[in-house]
Structure formats: C-alpha cells, structure tokens
Structure 1
Amino acid sequence: MYDTQHLAPVVHSVEPFFVSVDATILDAIRAIDAGTQQIALAVDADRRLLGVVTDGDIRRAILRGIELSAPLDEILNRTPVVCRYPAPYDELAKTLLGQQRITRLPAIDAQGRVVGLYRTEDLLDEHFARDFPVVLMAGGLGTRLRPFTDTIPKPMIDVGGRPILEHIIRRFVSQGFKRFYVSVNYLSHVIKDYFATGEAFGAEIHYLEETERLGTAGSLRLLPHELEGPFFVMNGDLLTAANFAAIADYHLETGAEATMCLREYTVQVPYGVVEQNGGRFVGIEEKPMHRHYVNSGIYVLNASILSLLPENGYFDMPSLFDGLMKKDPSAAAVFPLREYWCDIGQVSDLERARSEIARLAVF
C-alpha cells in the first residue's frame, strides 16, 4: 500500500503500541502482543515519543534475568531512530533496507508527536522473514509414546482435534511462512497421505526421505543444494504459540549464523538448602527455585553452516552447534521463548497438552 502523493508507504496506526514511560516490562509485552508489530512506544500525554522497546529488547532482558515486573525504563531505548512524517521513499529505503537491521520506524511530526509507524515489509513485495523455508523433523519412532505410536508417527497424534504437525504448519502459515520440508521415516506414508502437497493447508510441502536415522541435523543433508539464506528447523512433536516472525527478525538482527530458541525450566528443591562454611552453619534457604534455560527444539540456521555437516551418519543439532562454536565462538545466538511451549515426548506431556489446548486461543 503506497501513498502516491509522497511516494512512500502509508504509515500504520500506532495507538495499540502506546505505553506510559512509567509502565513495566510486562505492560510493554502486552502492548507488543496486542499490536502485533514487535514494538512498543513510550509516549507522554501529548503522544510525544519518549522511547521505544522491541520484542528483541525484551528477549535480551529475559536472558539477563530482569524481572518482567521491573520498570520499562530499565530497557527503554530513549534515542531510537525516527523519521519525520511524511518521509520520502529514498529516506525510508536507506533506513529500513540498510545495514542497521531496523524493521520498525516511528514517524513523528514537528512537535515530536507520534504519527504512525513505517515497516520494512511495506517496501518489499513480501516481508523477508516470510521467505524462510521451514524444516520439520517428523521421522522419529516415538517409542516413549507407545501404544499411541504403534500405528501412527508421533507428529500425527491428535491434540485438540488435529495432529500435532498440523498445529505446527498452520501456525507457521498464519504468520506468512509457506515453504516446508518435512523429514519423514517411520510410517512416513501416514504423514504424506494426510498433508500431500500442503495445498489444502495454504502451504507448499516437500518431503525429505530418511532411509536411516540421521538425527536432527543429519537429515539436513537431504535439503536441496541450491537452498540459500536462513531457514527454520523445528521438531515435529512440539505444541507452541511461538512468534516465528519475531524469531526470524531476531536472527537477522543479531547477524548470527545460527539461533537456538530456549525455554526456561524451573526446578524446585523440595528441602531447605543449607549454606555452611568450614563446618559452621551460615544460613538456610527453604525450598529454593533454580531456573535454567533448555533447548526448545526450534532453530534458525543460515544455509552456509550446512558445510559443517559430516558426509554421512547420525548427527544431532547440539553437535552442529558445537562445530559452529569451534569455528566461530560468536556465531550462535539464543532466543528465549516466553510463549506457550510443550514438548510432547511422553504420555504425561500428551495428557497435559490435551488438557491445556482447550484454553489456548492461539490453537
């Protein structure tokens, strides 16, 4: 959509993204989720821009251990890149298509009041992130979910009236991702008969046929050799409300060769933990909680790192990341998921997912 008078994309409405400068990080998350533009704008009573916070800023804050109840000011960017409205196309192209990886550009008037928001995707035929291919790993045996997997592959187990794999594909498609490669092995005909070419689901699906167990990274050898740029890899037994567009943008923003999505995992010690020093009592902490980040089974990889794969044999994703780190210790990024995520690996996980899906509006 273009404003022919100014030869520039029309600005988008910004009211849903507004927060006050004394808001909390959680308030900003709510604004970002409501606005669906991966940005929140801190303004005063007259709509004058005081700062911005992006979805990526919040993810990085989570990794630093900042509580969501903390003041937004702790992570607020008070000197964001902005433009005057109306902005000429050349200026927008230089900013939104340049090397700074800015995808959202607030537009302000002469008094510093927010008029709207320019977006990178409006300068392109299609948002660059939406062209990411998606590789889904659906070839596992699912032995821990027997007898459910005796006659169907694990990704085809029903949760809320649909196979797990259908939930995954539909969520990607709803965010603009269309190209899929599904790695299959065990009872592969069940998956191929159900999804076929993917046309019925608004997708384009190709199948990677594993003749032996290759692992989550080894099966990437089956991808077309002409594949270029970044692509998603995701386990086919996950139920998640992840924002894949935000993950894609984060990967591009960091300039990483590989991004691993993480999920916070909390362990509570069921006893009082005693601190001592040289046999003397120092203190006791009752039933402390320990927080860790675990691999969520969702990744973004640049096609260039496929050269690190061995020519044959089983090879998993942690081994690929290890190889990448040996090559360049700064080449990998991490992205913390704050959305719903459930790894359906055991019967108890399946039962939980089936009970939870009814109250999750995103499925």
Structure 2
Amino acid sequence: MKVLILAGGFGTRLSEETHLIPKPMVEIGGRPMLWHIMKIYSTYGFNDFIILLGYKGYVIKEYFANYFLHENDVTIDIANNKIETHSQNNVEPWKVTLVNTGINTMTGGRLKRALPYLNDGQPFMFTYGDGVCNVDIQALVSFHKQHDKLITMTAVQPEGRFGAMKIGDDMAVNSFEEKPEGEGGWINGGFFVCQPKVLDYIKGDETMFEREPLNMLVRDRQLVAYKHKDFWQCMDTLRDKRMLESMWEEENPRWKIW
C-alpha cells in the first residue's frame, strides 16, 4: 500500500525554521520531521512513499537524491570522477516518488495530483508532513478494512485548541465543530487510510481536503474514526518543535517505535 505525505505547505507559523526549508525538513534529533514520519510507516512494513511537494520542494528532492551518499562511507576519486561506496548498512528500504504539486495548491489538490502514481483500485494511506505519533499502522489498516468505508481518519485527543469532531457509537463521524471549550475533544490526527474514490470528492487544486471533501464524506456516512488514545504531536510552532527536540534529547521520543 502506498503512503502519501503532504509536504508542500509554507509553514508560516514556524517561519523561524521554514524561511529556508520546507516544514517537513525541520529537524528533530538531527533528522527531518519527514524522516521520522517515514520511519513510523516503515516499521510496519510500508515503504512505498509519494511525497507531495510545493514550497521549496527542491530541498526534499536533493535530500533523497543524496540520501545514499550521506548515509555511507565513501571514497571520492575527483581526478577520475568516481565514487566508491564502502558500506551499505544504513540504507532504508524505501521507494520514494517526489511529485511537484504546485506552490499554492491546497491539500485536496495535492492529493488529487498523486492519482497517476497510485495503484489502480487499491487503497492508499496519507498523512501530513508535520506530525508524529505512535499509532499502530497495521491495526489502523485492519480497522479500515473491517468498516468498509471510503476513508478512515486517525482521531486523537490533544488539548482543546483545535476544531473537533463528534463520533457516533458505530465510529462514524457525525459532524465537526470549531475549537470546543476544555480538553478531550477528538480531532483529526492525520494518518488516513483511503479508497481511491475519496479523490472523486476533490474538485481541483483550490480544494482544501479538510473542508468540503471531508464534510461531504461525513454527509455520505463514508468517514470513520480510528481512536488513538496514546501519543500524538504536531509541529505547528517553534514551541512544538522545541518540545519534540527535548523529548528526543531526553531519550523519550514516544513516537520512536523503530
């Protein structure tokens, strides 16, 4: 199953870090956030990635183009224009497709532009390039298959500073509401599993997936939530980045399941 990662936004709320690099390339523990996300999926055997690029996408292209070189010992024979690799122990089992989806394209438009690279009729996963958690990806996929709906969203419970959703006893999402008071509301944590027909709900580049498409899927009773009650954290601000960095330095990165 292919894994799509949205990596094209401007990251304006983290401008201290993103004025030179795209948000998913901001480092935690010396590795880009994007790398951490891919390691989570890879731990469960999902290694075929489609990275949806936009703002400063060339930085991500260059990172993966040079990944093998940076991870191994090499001898560079400048006179003869040859590179000899001495070790291949640190190479990830990843296949990475990098897709330019436009600078100003919205999240839905970016997803739709991945259509030519998906397997016909096969489900796919997608997430955002700025959040980590310790969700069991295999259990998430199994849950999606059991409920036979077009899309499964991982629901998480952070502090009440995000818009929340109401979930029925049958796990169907009934509605969304803006930033409820207090804490404990279930919110969109990313880490989706989708059937290809989900892309039919997206009109074009101007479509933000989290608005009309998700609400239409709710209307059609095609969106179910997988409740993840353990660790989840997005990297929206410099404060978030510093918190994640601190967890890594203290050797307590709860998303590190590999």
Tell me whether the two structures share a fold, i.e. TM-score over 0.5: yes
Identity level (%): 24
Of residues 1, 11, 18, the one that matches 1:149 is: 18
1:304 partnered with 2:162: no
Of residues 207, 211, 218, the one that matches 2:102 is: 211
Alignment of 1:12-91 (within 5 A): none
Aligned to 1:84: none
d(CA) in 2 for partners of 1:139, 1:302 = 22
* Deviations 1:157-198 (CA, angstroms, capped at 9, x unpaired): 110121100011112111100111100111111111112398
Give the counterpart letter for 1:344 in structure 2: M
Runs of 4+ aligned residues of structure 1 deviating over 6 Å after TM superposition are none
Of residues 314, 319, 325, the one that matches 2:218 is: 325
Alignment of 1:143-292 (within 5 A): 143-196=12-65, 200-225=91-116, 227-267=120-160, 290-292=183-185
Give the counterpart letter for 1:314 in structure 2: T
Conserved in 2, the CA contact under 8 Å of 1:196 and 1:205? no
CA 1:197 to 1:228, structure 2 compared with 1: closer, same or farther past 3 Å?
Answer: farther
SS in 1 for 2:158: strand
CA 1:197 to 1:300, structure 2 compared with 1: closer, same or farther past 3 Å?
Answer: farther
Measured after TM superposition, the shift of residue 333 of structure 1 is 0.4
Across the two proteins, how many residue pairs are aligned to each other? 211
SS in 2 for 1:167: helix
Measured after TM superposition, the shift of residue 323 of structure 1 is 1.9
* Deviations 1:305-362 (CA, angstroms, capped at 9, x unpaired): 2112114423223321112233x2x211001112321100001111111112321365
Gaps of 5+ in 1: 1-131, 269-287
d(CA) in 2 for partners of 1:289, 1:361 = 24
Give the number of the structure whose residues are more often strand, by fraction.
1
d(CA) in 1 for partners of 2:67, 2:51 = 11
CA 1:362 to 1:235, structure 2 compared with 1: closer, same or farther past 3 Å?
Answer: closer
- Structure with bigger RCO (C-alpha 8 Å, 6+ apart): 2
Aligned to 1:340: 231
d(CA) in 1 for partners of 2:15, 2:28 = 16
What root-mean-square deviation, in Å, do the aligned CA atoms of Structure 1 and Structure 2 show?
Answer: 2.2
Aligned to 2:2: 133
d(CA) in 2 for partners of 1:145, 1:312 = 24
Conserved in 1, the CA contact under 8 Å of 2:52 and 2:114? no
d(CA) in 2 for partners of 1:150, 1:362 = 26
SS in 2 for 1:193: helix
Give the counterpart letter for 1:350 in structure 2: K
Measured after TM superposition, the shift of residue 154 of structure 1 is 0.8
CA 1:291 to 1:171, structure 2 compared with 1: closer, same or farther past 3 Å?
Answer: closer
d(CA) in 1 for partners of 2:40, 2:218 = 31
Measured after TM superposition, the shift of residue 213 of structure 1 is 2.1
Larger Cα-atom Rg? 1
Aligned to 2:76: none
TM-score by length of 2: 0.75
Gaps of 5+ in 2: 69-90, 162-180
Conserved in 2, the CA contact under 8 Å of 1:265 and 1:292? yes
d(CA) in 1 for partners of 2:101, 2:61 = 13
